[in-house]
Amino acid sequence: MEVSRKRLFLKHLEPARPLRRHAQLDVARISYTRGFLIDLASSPEAKKRPEHLPEHPIVLTEAVRCVQVQDF
C-alpha cells in the first residue's frame, strides 16, 4: 500500500520551474562586412591611444606601421 502511494506522488510531481538548459535565448549576432572593418581600422579614432591605458613600456604612444620579428 505504501509503495503505490509513493508511485502516485512521484508520477504527478513536476519541477517548479523549467530547466535553464532548455531555455531558448533569441540573441541576434552582430556581424560586420570586411570593408567596414578595414575602413574602421584606418580611421583617425582607431589610431588614437585610449585614455584609460596605463603608462607602460609595452603600450606605445604612437601607432607603428610594421613590426619586425627576428628569428631566435
pLDDT at site 65? 73
| CB distance 63 to 44 below 8 Å | no
pLDDT at site 36? 93
Report which of 63, 40, 38 is spatially closest to residue 50, judged by C-alpha positions.
Answer: 63
The 10s digit of each residue's pLDDT in 34-70 is 999 999 988 988 888 788 877 777 766 677 776 677 7
DSSP annotation string for the chain: -HHHHHHHHHHT---SS--GGG-----PPP---HHHHHHHHTSGGGGSPPTTS---TTS-SS--S-------
